[in-house]
Amino acid sequence: MADLVVDSSVAVKWFVPEPYSAEARRILDGYKNGTLSFLAPDLINPEVGNIIWKKHIFQGLAVSDAQNIVDEFRALQFTFIPTATLLNEAYKIAVKHRRTVYDSLCLALGVRENCQVVTADEKFVNAVGSAFPNLLWFANWK
């Protein structure tokens, strides 16, 4: 089983129809068939919750659907890594590459665990991908 760092931009696409949701679900299928295990900074929990809240408040996602998504996300077996253990490296990445510490947390985790990181943030991949070949735009994940 291969470890894969997943960020919230990918995880939300598993549950909410958006552009490239089908590509994101291929990653979830890898988890469901036992070929992938998911790692993430523990920050992913409030990030996913906040994205779903925004979709409820501003885009009309029904409250029951929003709660079901949160419940389904929480049922997935992630290995959550405390952000405090990643902060130093994430901060160094953020300063060097002029990216947010939030975005750099997943990248720091991928570097530490020597595994791939998938994100739906194409701008982030374009900005730092040449320095971090383990960072992939999720639609290019195989």
Give the CATH number, domain containing residue 63: 3.40.50.1010
List CB contacts of 100: < 8 A, sequence separation 6 or more. Answer: 94
Q: Among 79, 98, 89, 97, which residue's Cα sits nearest to residue 5?
A: 79
pLDDT for residue 72: 97
Our count of domains for the chain comes to 1
Tell me, what amino acid is at 77? Q
CA angle 58/15/24 to nearest 5° reads: 115
How far, in Å, are 47, 49, 51, 74 from residue 123 at the CA level? 18, 23, 19, 28
pLDDT for residue 1: 84
Domain that residue 127 falls in: 2-140
Residue 65 in contact with residue 17, Cβ under 8 Å? no
Residue in the structure block whose two tokens are 């931009």: 9
Weakly modelled stretches of the chain, pLDDT under 70: none
pLDDT for residue 142: 79
Considering the entire predicted model, what is its pTM?
0.94
Q: CA 20, 124, 74, 49 torsion: positive or negative?
A: negative
